[in-house]
Structure 1
Amino acid sequence: MKKSITPVALAAALSCLSLSAARAQQASDTKAEPSKLETVVVNASADASKDGLIKPYAGGQVARGGRAGILGTKDNLDTPFSITAYTNELIQDRQAKSVADVLQNDAGVRVARGYGNFQESYFIRGFLLSSDDVAYNGLFSLLPRQYIATELFERVEVLRGASSFLLGSSPGSDGIGGSVNLVPKRAASQDLSRVTVSTASGGQTGVSADVSRRFGPDKSTGIRINAAYSDGGTAVHDEHAKLGLLDVALDWHSRDVRLSADLGYQDNQLKRTRTNVALQGLTAIPKLPDSDANFAQPWSYSNERDTFGTLRGEYDINDAVTAWVAYGARRSSEANSLANLTVTSANGDGNTSRFDNTREDAVDTGELGLRGKFKTGSIGHEWVATASSFQLRKKTAYVWDYYNTQSTNLYSPTYLDQQPAFRAPYDFTTNPTGAFYGGDLANPALTGVTRLTSYAIGDTLSMLQDSLLVTLGARHQRLHVEGFGYQLAAPYDESRTSPVVGAVFKAGKQLSFYGNYIEGLSQGDTVQPTNGGAAFQLAPYVSRQKEIGVKYDAGRIGFDAALFTTNKPRPVQSTTVAQGYDRHTGLELNVFGEATRDLKILGGLTLLDTTQHDTGSALTEGKRTLGAAKTLANLGLEWSVPSVDGLALDGRVVYTGGVYADSANTLAVPSWTRFDLGARYNFEVQRTLMTARLRIENAADRKYWASAGGYPEQGYLVIGAPRTIKLSLSADF
C-alpha cells in the first residue's frame, strides 16, 4: 500500500492554492495590472577566482558556461569541450534532493547504483562515473562518497568526455565518458534568509535554512550557512531515509587577494532500502513487481557520516599573472548491513545472504598553479601550469554469510530474522556459520592507499582577432595504489603523459565550431590467465577521444551538437597482455533557454553506438556494452502562466532506450519513458516572498527497470521509483 503525504503538508498546499485564488480574484475585481514578484537570485563567486560565478543563460536553468578544469571557467562559445552547468534555480524548482536528481535533466546522463550498496553512479556517454569521483570546486572525492545532498552545492557542472588533462585521473579510475564538478555556495551581495519546509510521499518531511551575509565597508567578507534535516518514509513500501547536514562557507577579498573556505558535515541514514536485483542462470529479464514493492530485509541499513573542508586562495602577482593554491580533506565512516536479492528463476524465486561491512576514509588533496596572459606579435596566449596531489587511506572490514543463503522471492518476499552470528560482538574464533570475513567490523584496519600526483601545462592561443582559439597541453600523472590486510596486493606504480589538442573557430558572436583530441587515464585491471598461470596487472589504460561540435547562441535560446568517438581499453583473459577495447560513438544534441518569453525549454537527444572489440570471445565480440542505451532523450518545458502572476507549470519527459544486462547481450532490458509534472507559485505575505512548489515524479506510476549495471561488468538491475509527490514552501525573509 502506498503511503500518502502528511495532512499538515496538504493543509499548507491548500492554503497556498487558496491564497493564489484570492490574489487572482482580487486582481480581477480591481482590474489592476498584476505586479511582478522578484525571486531572490544568488549571484556570487563560486571560489576564490577573479571571474567569479559565470552568469545564468536566459531562463536561468543553465549557465552560460562552466569550469573546463585547469583552464578555468569559460563561456560555452569559447571552449572546445561540451559543458553544461545546471543552476541552483533549476535545483530548487525541480525539488532535486541529490546529484542524481539534478542529472535527470541531462539527455547524456543516466543514473545507476553502486554494486551491493546504494551509492549513486552515472552513465555518461555510456561510460560509468561513480559518485566517489565527483569533484568539488575542481578537487576529487571531497564530498560524501555515496549520496550528496543538494544543499551542499550551488551548481552541477557536467563536462562530457575524457578529461585527464583538464582534471587529472580520477581516484576510482573511471569518468571516461565525462566528469561532474559541484560548485560550492558563496554569500552574494544581496542578503539571503531562506527557510524551506517540505514533505513527500511516504511521510518524508524536512526543513532547511539558507542564510548569507556580507560584512565590512566594502562587503569584502562573506558567510553563507546551509542546514537541513529530513526524516521519514519514501514512496517505496517500508523504506526509511534520514538526513542531517550543516555547511558553512566563508570568503574574503581585497584588491589582489581572494580567499575562501568550506566546512561541511552530512549524516545520511537509510533503513530497509529496496536493493539491487542480481540475476543468476536466467535467459530473460524477469517481469517487474509493483512499483512500490519492497523485498529488502527489515533489519538492513546503510549509514554514512562525512566531515569535509576546503581552503582556496588566489593572488594576483601582477596584471598578467595569478597564482592559486587549494587544499581539501574528507573524513568519513560507513556501516552497512545488506542483503541483496539474487533471482534464479523466471517466477521470481531467489536467495539472499547477509553482508555487513564498515569503512573509514581519509582523503587529502590539493592543487597549486599559475595562470597568465601574454602576446607574441598578433597571437595571444592564456597559459596555465599546475601541480596536484591526492591521497586516499581506506580502512575496511566485512563479514559475509555466503554459505547461509536464505530463500525468498521477488514478488512474494520472505522476511528473515537477523542471524545470531552477526550480532555484535562477532566471534571470529569460532565462526559458527563458516562466513567469510576480513578484519574487525568494530575496528576496521588499513586495506588500501591510493596516491595520485600530476603536473600539467597548457596554453590557449588566440589568433585571427580572437576568432580562432587553439588549446595545447599535457599532463604527466603517476598512479600509485597499494593493498593491505585481506586486500593485500603488490604496489601498482605507473605513470603516463596525457596530451590535449582543442580548437574553436568563432564564425561570429553567436556561432562557434570546435574539435578536440583528449585522453583518459585509468588503472589497468588484474588479469587471471585462462591457463592457470600467475595473475598480472595491466599497464594504465589510455582512452582516446575525438570530438567535433557546433554551438549556437540565438540570444534567448541556445543549441549545441557534438559528434564523438571514444576507445576505452578492456582486459582479455589470456596468457598475454593483449587488450581489447570498447568503442563508443555518439551524437549529442542539446537545447536550452527560452522558446518564448513565457516558455522555458531544456532538453536533448543522445544517440549511442557502443561496441566491444577484440574481446577474445565469440560470445561478446561485436556486441553492445553492458548497461548503455542506444537512445536517450529528455524534454523539459516550463510555462509562466500570463494570467496568474507568479504561477509557473512545468513538465518533463525522460526516455531511455533498451539496454543489455550482460556483455553477451542475452538479457535485454526494455526501454522506458517517465513523465514528471510540477507547479510553482510565488506570492507575498506581509512583504515576505513565499514560494510554493508541487512536484509529481513518475506521474503515470510507470513500472520500469531504471538501470542495468553501475559497476564494471556487473549487470544487476535497479527498479525505478514509483509515483512520488513532493510539496515544499519557502520563505525569503
Structure 2
Amino acid sequence: MPAVFPSRLRPLLQLSLMLSLSASPLLMPVSWADEAARRSYQVPAGSLSAALTRFAGLAGVNLSVDPALVSGRSSNGLSGEYGVEEGFARLLAGSGLQLQPVGEQAYILMPAPEGSSLQLAPTSILGANDETGGDVYAGGQVARRGSQGLLGSRDFMETPFSMTTYTSEAVKNQQARTLGDLIASDPSVRATNPAGGRYEQFTIRGFSLFNSDVAYNGLYGVLPTYTIDMEMADRVDILKGPTQLINGISPRGSVGGGINVVPKRATDKPITSLTANYASNNQIGGAVDVGRRFGEDNQFGLRFNGVKQSGDTEWDHQSVDRDMAVLGLDFRGERLRLSTDVGRTERDTDAPQERVQVGANARVPSASEVRHNYAQPWSKARTKDTFGTVNAEFDVNDSTLLYGGVGVRKSNHDFLRHAVAVTNDKGDFSVQPRDFTRDENVRTATAGVRNWFHTGPVSHEINLAASYFYMDFENGGARYAASPSNLYNPVETPTPVRPTRQDPEVYTENRFSGVALADTMGFFDDRLLLTLGARWQRVKVDDWSDDVKGDTAYDEEKVSPSGGILFKATDKLSLYANYMEGLSQGKIAPSTSVNEDEIFPPFISRQVEVGAKYDAGSFGLTAAVFRIKQPAYETNAVTRVFGPNGKRQNDGVELTVFGEPLQGFRLLGGVMYIDSELTHTTNGTFDGNRAPATPKFNVNLGAEWDVPNVQGLTLTGRGIYSSSQYLDQSNDKQIDAWERFDVGARYAFKVDEKNITLRANIENVADKRYWSSAGASDDSEPGLTLSTPRTYLLSATVDF
C-alpha cells in the first residue's frame, strides 16, 4: 500500500475502509452502553492496520483509517479484558496516532497533536512495557504473555496450562549467567547437575529436561547442547506438563515441561548498555548490549549481545572461560515481519565436577565433608556451538497469518573426564580417564497458518502447523589406566597419555516430523475458551557403531490428542483444565551402564491437570493439580544394565505467586508438592515405592524491597528448599532435605544523564554443603549433585 495518496482520494479510501469494516464477518454488534462492561480480546502482534481492523471487527465498531497514517507501522497486539477505547489506545501506544469519535460506535484515526502523549484508561494490565513491547506484569519480573508454539502468544489468564514467563529484567537483577541460575526462582524446576560441571540439566515436575530440549523462539535443537547463556534472552517461557501438541517432539523426549528462550530485538528507543561483572573466586568479565532501528518508520532493527568472562571459581583448580556473541536482525513491514539470529558460544571449563555415583556396598557420602574439588586438574570440557535461525510472519489478510522458521546448529565438544563412583563408606573411587568427543549437526523447521473467524456467536482460532527436526551426532574417544582417589581427600593422578582402549565410533541420526491441528473456540464473548487439537508424530532413529548398523533403530508414529478448557469466572479469576499426551524419543543407555548407547523405543506420556489463576492487578496467584504418567527406567545396581522397569506416576500440586502486592515490595516464587509412585515393576519388587530423585516438596520464595527515602536502593532475598530424595527404586539410599538462602542489593542512579545500576548478590550465604539432587527419576545417568559454595556476584551496568 503506498505511503502517500493524493488528498482528493483520501475521503474515498476512508469511506471504503469504513464500509468494509461494517460488512466484516468478524463484526459482532454490541450496545454502546456495554463499553464499561469490558470484553476479552485476542489481537496478535503484527501490522498496525491488521491489528486495528481485527479489534474493530471484534468490538463491533466502525473505524475509518487513512492508509498513509498506518503504512509501515506495527502493533504489539493485546490480550486481556478491555473497553473499546481502552483497547484502541493500547494498540496505538507509541504510534503518534489517536482516535476521534465521529458518532455512535464510529471513529476515525488521526495524528496526535504535536507534543501530546496518549493517555491510557485504567486497565487490568498494570505492568509497563518491556524492551520488546510485551506486557510485563506488576513488579517487572514476569510477563503476562508467553510463547506457546502452535497456539501463538497468549496472556497467562487465557492459557489453559501452567506457565511462567521470566523477563530480561529478572535475568539482569538475579545476575543469571546461565539458564541454571535463572530457574532458581521456580519451584517446579530443579537443576540436577553441578553448577561447576560439564553441562546443565533440569527437572520439571520431577521429569528430566535436557538443554537439547530448550527451544529458541520455538525451534528445538538450535541452542547450545550443554550450557545456555542468559545474556541472549529477552524472555524465558517455562511451560509445565507435556508440550508435544504445541511444540512437537523434543530431541530428548522431555515430558515434565518445556522451556523456550525468546531472543532480544531492537526497540524504537536506542539501546547501548555496558556491564562489568565479577564472580568469586576470580571470575571477571563484561557484556555489551546494543540495539538500533533504521529506515522509514524504523522498519529495520539490529540487536547485538556479546559476553566475555573468565577466571577461577570457588572450587580448587577449577576455571571457566566463556564467550558469547549473538546478532539479531529484524524487519517489520505493513504485512511482512522477518527476523534472523546468528550466534556463537564457546565455553572452556577446567576440572568440571561430575555427579557422584554411589555403589551398592557404599552408604550415601557426607556432603558436608566434601571440601575440595574431587575432579582431577587435568580434566576439561571444551564446547563450541554455532547456530542461526530465520523466522517470518505474513498477514495474508486481516484474519489469516502465515508463519515459519528454520534453524541450524553445528557443535563440537571435546571432553577429558572421569566418573566418580564411590565404592565404600570411606569415599574411595577409581579415576579412569576418558577422552570423549561429540560432533552435532542440527536442521529444524516449522511452518503454519493461523486463522480467526466466527461461526455465529462462536469465535475460532484455527492453527495448522508442520514441523521437522533432524540431528546427527558422532561420539568417539578412548579410555586410560585407572588410579585411586577419594571423595573427601582427592588424590592428584598423572595426566593421561597412553590409552588402554579405543571406544567405538558411534554415529546416530534422529528424524522427527509432525503435523498439528488445533482450534480454540470462544463462547459467551470469549469468557469460555475451549482448545481441541491433535498432533501426528513420527520418530525415526538410526545408529551405526564403527560403520556397522545397529539393531536398536526404530521408525514409529502416533496421533496424540490434547485439549484444554478455560473459564473466566470473573475478570480476575480463571479456571482451567487440560489433557495432554505425546510421543517421546526413547531413552539412551548411559556410559555408566554395560549396554552403553543402546537406544530404546519411543514411549507415551500423559497428563491431566486442573487449575486456577487469580489476577489482582498488582499481584497474581496460580494453583494447579496434575497427574503425569510415563515408563520408569533404571540402571540395575547389580547387572549395570540400563532399561525400563515399570511405570511412574507423579501426582502433584503447584502454587505460585508473583507481582508487587505492596508498593515497593515484590514477590516471586511458590511451592510444589509431588507424590511420585512406582507401579508395574518387575515381579512387583518396587511397586508402591517413591520414584528416585523426586522430592515431595520444593519451595522457592524471593522478595525485593525498595528502601524508603533512599531512591534507587533495593534489597533482595530468596530462600530455596527441597525435601529428601531417594537414589534408587528400592528406596534404600536417601539424601537429606536442604535449604539455601541468597541475599542481595542493587542501587540505580544517574550520572550525566546516564543510567547506572550496581548489583551485589550472595548465593548460598550460609556456605552450606549438601546434595542438592539425586539426579532425575527418568534420567539415564543417576548420581548426586553437590551444592555450589558461597558465591559473590557483583556487576555495574551503564545505559547510555
Q: Superposition pairs for residues 211-360 of structure 1, below 5 Å?
A: 211-290=290-369, 293-360=372-439
TM-aligned CA distance change 1:297 to 1:283, over 3 Å: closer
Correspondent of 1:627 among 679, 693, 700:
693
Q: 2:135 aligned with 1:69, yes or no?
A: no
For the pair 1:410 / 2:471, whether they are aligned, the reply is no
SS at the partner of 2:185?
coil
Q: Which amino acid aligns with 2:562?
A: V
Residue 728 of structure 2 aligns with which residue? 662
The partner residue of 2:787 within 720, 727, 732 is 720
> Any conservation in 1 of the 2:194–2:786 contact (CA below 8 Å)?
no
- Paired residues of 2:632 and 2:644 also in contact (CA < 8 A): no
Whole-angstrom distance in 2 between the partners of 1:671 and 1:719: 13
Please tell me the residue identity of whatever aligns with 1:554.
A
What is the aligned partner in structure 2 of residue 419 from structure 1? 496
1:570-617 deviation digits (Å, cap 9, x = unpaired) = 3699xxx99731100000000000120010000100000001100114
Maintained 8 Å contact 2:771/2:787: yes
Deviation at 1:124, TM superposition (A): 0.6
Contact 1:566 1:583 in 2 (8 A): yes
Contact 1:289 1:410 in 2 (8 A): no
Q: Is the 8 A contact 2:196 2:353 kept in 1?
A: no
Q: Given that residues 586 and 607 in structure 1 are in contact (C-alpha distance below 8 angstroms), is that contact kept between their aligned partners in structure 2?
A: yes
Which amino acid in structure 2 is aligned with residue 397 of structure 1? G
Cross-structure match for 2:770 = 704
In the alignment, what sits opposite 1:584?
A: 650
What is the alpha-carbon root mean square deviation over aligned residues?
Answer: 2.2
Residue by residue over 1:86-122, the C-alpha shift from the partner in whole angstroms, topping out at 9 and shown as x without a partner, is 1110100010010111101001111012999622111
Q: Which moved more, 1:489-498 or 1:226-235?
A: 489-498
Q: For residue 105 of structure 1, what is the aligned residue in structure 2?
A: 185
Q: Which amino acid aligns with 1:489?
A: G
- Tell me which amino acid in the other structure corresponds to 1:239: Q
Q: Tell me, in whole angstroms, the C-alpha distance in 2 between the residues paired with 1:457 and 1:692.
A: 48
Work out whether residues 43 and 188 of structure 1, in 8 Å CA contact, stay in contact via their aligned partners in 2.
Answer: no
Partners of 1:222 and 1:571 in 2: CA distance: 48
SS in 1 for 2:582: strand
Rate the CA distance shift 1:94–1:207 in 2: closer, same or farther, 3 A.
Answer: same
Deviation at 1:282, TM superposition (A): 3.5
> Where in structure 2 are the equivalents of 1:517-556 lying within 5 Å?
517-524=579-586, 540-556=602-618
1:489 equivalent in structure 2? 550
2:197, 2:352 within 8 Å by CA — same for their partners in 1? no
> What residue number does 1:125 align with?
205
Give secondary structure in 2 for the equivalent of 1:309. strand
Match of 1:467 in 2: 527
Instruction: Check whether the contact 1:291–1:721 (CA below 8 A) recurs between aligned residues.
Output: no
Structure showing greater Rg: 2
Task: Give the distance between the partners of 1:42 and 1:467, measured in 2 at CA.
Answer: 25
How far apart are 1:686 and its partner, in Å?
A: 1.9
Q: Tell me the alpha carbon deviations over residues 104-155 of structure 1, each in whole angstroms, 9 at most, x when there is no partner.
A: 1001111012999622111110111111111001110101100011112111
Q: Percent identity?
A: 37
Match of 1:676 among 734, 742, 746: 742
Task: Go from structure 1 to structure 2 and tell me whether the alpha carbon gap of 1:525 and 1:231 turns closer, same or farther (over 3 Å shift).
Answer: closer
Partner letter of residue 598 of structure 1? G
Change in 2 beyond 3 A, CA 1:578/1:688:
closer
**1:198 and 1:380, CA in 2 relative to 1: closer, same or farther beyond 3 A?**
same
Question: In structure 1, what is the equivalent of residue 575 of structure 2?
Answer: 513
Kindly state the Cα deviation for residue 333 of structure 1 after the two structures are TM-superposed. 0.4
Is 1:59 equivalent to 2:139 in the alignment? yes
Partners of 2:195 and 2:788 within 8 A in 1:
no
| SS of residue paired to 1:633 | strand
The range that moved more, 599-608 or 517-526, is 517-526
2:362 and 2:424 in contact (8 A); partners too: no
Code of the aligned partner of 2:532 = L
Whether the 8 Å contact between 1:176 and 1:543 is mirrored in structure 2 is yes
How far did 1:44 drift? Answer: 4.7
* CA contact 2:370–2:487 (8 Å) conserved in 1: no
- The residue aligned with 2:462 is 383
* SS of equivalent residue, structure 1 residue 154: strand
Is contact 1:54–1:66 with CA below 8 Å preserved after alignment?
no
Contact 1:510 1:554 in 2 (8 A): yes
What is the CA–CA distance in structure 1 between the aligned matches of 2:140 and 2:236, rounded to whole Å? 13
Amino acid of the residue matched to residue 451 of structure 1? R
Matched, 1:88 2:168: yes
Aligned pair 1:158/2:232, yes or no?
no
For 1:617 and 1:704, locate their aligned partners in 2 and report how far apart those are by CA, in whole Å.
35
Whole-angstrom CA distance in 2 between matches of 1:150 and 1:179: 17
Distance 2:224 2:129 in 1: 24
Uncovered stretches (5+) of structure 1, i.e. residues with no partner: 1-40, 46-52, 423-432, 440-445, 528-534
Cα distance in 2 for residues equivalent to 1:613 and 1:311: 45
**Deviation of the 1:69 alpha carbon:** 2.1
Q: Distance between the aligned counterparts of 2:587 and 2:362, measured in 1? A: 28
Q: Which residue of 2 aligns with 1:134?
A: 214
Cα deviation 1:655-685 (Å, max 9, x = unaligned): 0111111121111010100000010001122
- Whether contact under 8 Å (1:54, 1:73) holds in the other structure is no
Label 1:584 to 1:66 Cα distance change in 2 as closer, same or farther (>3 A).
Answer: same
The aligned amino acid for 1:396 is N
- Tell whether the 8 Å contact from 2:420 to 2:431 is kept in structure 1 after alignment: yes
Letter in 1 for 2:151: L
- In 1, the alpha carbon distance for the partners of 2:394 and 2:768 equals 54
Contact 1:380/1:463, CA 8 A, preserved across alignment: yes
Partner deviation per Cα, 1:442-499 (whole Å, 9 max, x = no partner): xxxx700000010011000000121100000000010000101248423310000111
Confirm or deny: 8 A CA contact 1:196 1:209 kept in the other structure.
yes
Contact 2:657 2:670 in 1 (8 A): yes
1:128 is aligned with what amino acid? S
Say how many residue pairs are matched: 658
Secondary structure at the counterpart of residue 484 of structure 1: strand
Separation in 1, partners of 2:479, 2:648 = 33
Which residue identity is paired with 1:697? E
Instruction: Give the Cα separation in 2 of the matches to 1:151 and 1:364.
Output: 24
Is the Cα–Cα contact under 8 Å of residues 198 and 349 in structure 2 kept in the other structure?
A: no
1:43 aligns with 2:130: yes
Deviates more, 1:488-497 or 1:606-615: 488-497
SS at match of 2:298: coil
